[in-house]
Structure 1
Amino acid sequence: MSREYVFYVYILASRSRTLYVGMTNNVVRRHTEHAGGRKGSFTARYKIDRLVYYERHQYVRNAIAREKELKDWSREKKVELIEKVNPTWEDLSTAFSRNYRGEPLV
């Protein structure tokens, strides 16, 4: 029996809409780490703690490539992507279960 892997590319934002792009295999854990604000980190300094966008990938190489692609985008293009699926910049982290894999409930 083979195990199915899931990887996420995500965008976090602060209330002032400073953005952070990342990739993980567990969105809940990673969001918690960012929200916890490790001293001196970019996300702590700018209070970036809201998950405003994510996408799922089956293969780690695809997720890494997509993360790099998004990081190269202009701010305007990232904002457009976020607002296409999350026009109110709602914190999407509540859509995730608290299971060990950090997968969305829906």
Structure 2
Amino acid sequence: MKRFIYIITDRNRTNLHVGLCADLLKTLEFYSQMPNLFFDNSRQLSRLVYFEEINTEEQAVERFKYVSTFTRPMKEKMIRAVNPDWIDLTVGLNAERSARFARPQMRPAISSNRRAVTV
């Protein structure tokens, strides 16, 4: 089962929180529903700036332990390597999810007015 390692921050980038989850979108929804869970209003964790998708739980736990030991400059370097402008990646994930579920059917409609082709 796939796992995700993520780094989430506040709007001022003062806090960098490393997390591990099985469903990234549900985790981000939890953070948005519980904005004052860890910090006060000015330091709400609301911006996903980095994530990794890992195939096995054992590898994900090992990677999480490793990334959790990083200092702030190490985490910033890791984030800037893939997201130099620190944009919120949640927008892209939500767009991808909505595109996946809103995809039109590719099968042509069967019309009852069709006539058999005769040769």
TM-score, with normalisation over the residues of structure 2?
A: 0.72
Number of matched residues? 93
Structure 1 regions of 5+ residues with no counterpart? Answer: 100-106
1:27 equivalent in alignment to 2:24: yes
RMSD: 1.7
- Residues 38-57 of structure 1 show CA distances to partners (whole Å, capped at 9, x for unaligned) of 64x32x43201111000010
List, as ranges, runs of 4+ consecutive aligned residues in structure 1 with deviation greater than 4 Å: none
Equivalent-residue separation in structure 2 for 1:59 and 1:28 (angstroms): 18
Following superposition of structure 1 onto structure 2, how do residues 1-106 of structure 1 map, counting pairs within 5 Å? 5-17=1-13, 18-37=15-34, 39=36, 41-42=37-38, 44-45=39-40, 46-96=43-93, 97=97
TM-score, with normalisation over the residues of structure 1?
A: 0.80
Structure 2 regions of 5+ residues with no counterpart? Answer: 100-119
Q: Letter of the aligned partner of 1:66 in structure 2?
A: R
- Residues 63-95 of structure 1 show CA distances to partners (whole Å, capped at 9, x for unaligned) of 111111111000000001001100111110122
Note closer, same or farther for the CA distance 1:15–1:52 as it changes in structure 2 (3 Å cut). Answer: same
**Which structure has the higher relative contact order (CA within 8 Å, separation 6+)?**
1
| Identity within the alignment, % | 27
Note closer, same or farther for the CA distance 1:16–1:77 as it changes in structure 2 (3 Å cut). Answer: same
